Structure 1
Amino acid sequence: MPRRRPPMGPDLVALIRAQAGVVTRWQLREHGVPDSAIRTLLGSGRWTVRHPGVHATFSGDLGRTAELWAAVLACSRRPRLEPGVRHSPDAVLSHETAAELYGLTDRPSAVIHVTVPDGRRRPVAAPGIHVHFSMHLAHRRHPVQSPPRTRVEDTVLDLTQTAPDLDTAIDWLSRACGSRLTTSERLAVALQTRKKVRHRRELQYALDDAADGAHNLLELRYHREVERAHGLPAGGRQLRRSLGDGTIYDDVDYGGHATVVHLDGRVHRQTRMFQDMSRDNAAVVEGRDPLRYGWHDVTERPCHVAAQVALVLSRNGWTGRPRPCARTDCLFRRSAA
């Protein structure tokens, strides 16, 4: 006589489908599936155990989405069962894992990051899962995204707090703004709601620069350490121009002084070499002086960069004077002396 399949109503089927085929034992019990039926399915090999109390309703590899759901469910609180009451997972994906889902990084995180409400019992340790705690998770949880995750603004700010250095923290801000997933204004509002923030002042400055049009970390550093620190005029950011059949963008355009600055933060430039050449050539044809700087120039030699930009701007009609920055070895400090 063949074994009978356990009773699964349409609500449970829909739940399992929404969770990429992963379900918890307490969810099954909420929908009336007896433990004996669960043991039968596991014993037959049709279902598998991913974490204690978390089952995949299929055999074989989970796939990334199912693996993320399994991590969320493994860290979620196991509620007391009450007749007619349905509970949702209270854990969410966060940090690098949420960034992966939002497309802020193209590399799946080796460790799955999950955040749970602060104050409740620590989840049972599961391999490959890093658990964070938050007192404000109810407000930082995205209301509709699946699998559950923190809002994009809170994801980015969480990453700034776990970043190994300030440059990495600011890079997360610029990625989020540059990808148009959020805005500097929305990130600034989220920043203001947090009481304790490492590098708060620097992050706020970076958001102010992003609001002025800087789209990546190198542009932010140029705006802060070359332009603003030395009193150079503020150039236009990412101005769009037509070039033949295509469109190009000038990173920094000093339109009134016939000067453009192109910033290249990549280590390997060959893949974009011809596009860069086209931008430079177009600037020359239009009677503008193109300057090009890389990461090392802007971060290690900002005073030299400022001196070159100031010289070209002065040659093209700028009547201002650059000022010394806070560096003790600034070129303009030495010249003033």
Structure 2
Amino acid sequence: MDLEQLVAAQDGVVSRAQALACGLTEDALTWRLRSGRWQRVHPGVYVTFSGPLPFAARVWAAILRAGRGAVASHRTAAHLDGLCDDPGPVVHVTAPGDRHVRGKTDGVRVHYAHRLPRSRHPARNPPRTRVEDTVLDLVDVASHPREVETWVTAACQRRATTPERLADALGRRKKIRWRAVAVALLADVVDGAHSPLELRHLRRVERAHGLPTGCRQRRVAGERVIWIDVDYAEFHLRVELDGRIGHTGEGRFRDRRRDNHATVGGHATLRYGHADVFGDPCGVAAEHVRVLRARGWTGTPLSCRPGCPVPACGRP
């Protein structure tokens, strides 16, 4: 590969060693830098254009700075694969665990892993960890279980991977923080909870109060396909959990059409957002119980804590 092809493949970034190996002389390299045609990004790493660096160029520069075998990882890899919308201020790369990158590089965080040959994606550019290993790397450095929920559910909700593939990757990790949380979380994601809001509803509204088990992410085909977040089909009750910004504008009209269609078909619809499910799960459960009771449910609701209003509202 000649220099022009290499630079194009690396989003305009090249290392000193690569440029010399492609036949560029020391004098030619120095002239490009002094004339401003090229920029020095890190020691021995250059971009072959002037002006600000796009994100992909910053990633390539960090990978080349970290050296042979290094790949993008953690939040950087997550952004490259569409798991998050904000890459954050730092580029994360992982280098093989048998060596050390000398010196501190501004804007770059270098991690080390002996498993890198197995976790590196075989084809994607810029080089990065596989999606499942990216998620588990982020789980391992999470400071709170809520972050674990966010990364695992985002990966599955955005269809970047599946709970089964994540579970396989987790089984190959000898050491990882929050393992128990991740195992329980993957089981709930398999049951259809695809976001932190849906997980909260499953655990703190439904299970904590002894409600019947709803069918999650149910696909209903008709004139147009609709998805129901939680469907208590036996009792003709549907629950919609609006945790995303898409429930405004055209999304709001789609919600209205869906709710109207359900009502015409004899279904009741309860709709909640983050403030409801996270702020008052007992109050949400109490509303569920009242509607379920009116529609034939004869089960016994549970109290999740002293003062919980659910048992009282659930008396037949």
**Where does residue 179 of structure 1 map in the other structure?**
158
Could you tell me which of 199, 208, 211 is aligned with 1:229? 208
Inter-partner Cα distance in structure 1 for 2:52 and 2:277: 46
TM-score normalised by L of structure 2 = 0.89
* Matched residue type, 1:69: W
User: How far does residue 294 in structure 1 lie from its aligned partner after superposition?
Assistant: 1.7
Does residue 1:19 correspond to 2:10, yes or no? Answer: yes
Distance change >3 Å, CA 285–CA 115, structure 1 → 2 = same
Q: String of CA shifts for 1:142-200, please: whole Å, max 9, x gaps.
A: 11110011111111122223334222220111111011110011111112222332222
Inter-partner Cα distance in structure 1 for 2:213 and 2:275: 21
Deviation larger for 179-188 or 284-293: 284-293
Does residue 1:311 correspond to 2:290, yes or no? Answer: yes
- Contact kept? 2:290, 2:313, Cα under 8 Å: no
Could you tell me which of 107, 118, 125 is aligned with 1:128? 107
**Where does residue 45 of structure 1 map in the other structure?**
36
* Matched residue type, 1:260: R
**SS in structure 2 opposite 1:168?**
helix
- Contact kept? 2:301, 2:311, Cα under 8 Å: no
Inter-partner Cα distance in structure 2 for 1:328 and 1:189: 40
Alignment of 1:49-64 (within 5 A): 49-64=40-55
Deviation larger for 173-182 or 10-19: 10-19
**SS in structure 1 opposite 2:124?**
coil
Inter-partner Cα distance in structure 2 for 1:108 and 1:200: 25
**Where does residue 21 of structure 2 map in the other structure?**
30
Deviation larger for 148-157 or 292-301: 292-301
**Where does residue 4 of structure 1 map in the other structure?**
none
Could you tell me which of 264, 270, 288 is aligned with 1:291? 270
* Matched residue type, 2:64: L
Could you tell me which of 239, 249, 267 is aligned with 2:227? 249
- Contact kept? 2:15, 2:44, Cα under 8 Å: yes
- Contact kept? 2:289, 2:310, Cα under 8 Å: no
Does residue 1:73 correspond to 2:68, yes or no? Answer: no
User: How far does residue 267 in structure 1 lie from its aligned partner after superposition?
Assistant: 7.2
Distance change >3 Å, CA 334–CA 319, structure 1 → 2 = closer
Distance change >3 Å, CA 267–CA 12, structure 1 → 2 = closer
Inter-partner Cα distance in structure 2 for 1:270 and 1:46: 47
Distance change >3 Å, CA 330–CA 204, structure 1 → 2 = farther
Which blocks of at least 5 consecutive residues in structure 1 are unaligned? 1-9, 77-88
- Contact kept? 2:289, 2:313, Cα under 8 Å: no
* Matched residue type, 2:206: E
**Where does residue 262 of structure 1 map in the other structure?**
240
Deviation larger for 201-210 or 58-67: 58-67
* Matched residue type, 1:253: D
Inter-partner Cα distance in structure 1 for 2:155 and 2:244: 18
- Contact kept? 1:238, 1:251, Cα under 8 Å: yes
Q: String of CA shifts for 1:223-273, please: whole Å, max 9, x gaps.
A: 1222222232221122233576x4332110111111011112247954343
Distance change >3 Å, CA 333–CA 235, structure 1 → 2 = closer
User: How far does residue 73 in structure 1 lie from its aligned partner after superposition?
Assistant: 0.5
**Where does residue 80 of structure 1 map in the other structure?**
none
- Contact kept? 1:75, 1:124, Cα under 8 Å: no
Does residue 1:160 correspond to 2:139, yes or no? Answer: yes
Q: String of CA shifts for 1:250-305, please: whole Å, max 9, x gaps.
A: 11011111101111224795434333322322222111111112212222322332
TM-score normalised by L of structure 1 = 0.84
* Matched residue type, 2:25: P
Distance change >3 Å, CA 335–CA 239, structure 1 → 2 = closer
User: How far does residue 205 in structure 1 lie from its aligned partner after superposition?
Assistant: 1.5
Does residue 1:110 correspond to 2:89, yes or no? Answer: yes
Which blocks of at least 5 consecutive residues in structure 2 are unaligned? none
**Where does residue 91 of structure 1 map in the other structure?**
70
Inter-partner Cα distance in structure 1 for 2:46 and 2:296: 71
Which is higher, the Rg of structure 1 or of structure 2? 1
**Where does residue 138 of structure 1 map in the other structure?**
117
**SS in structure 1 opposite 2:168?**
helix
User: How far does residue 16 in structure 1 lie from its aligned partner after superposition?
Assistant: 2.1
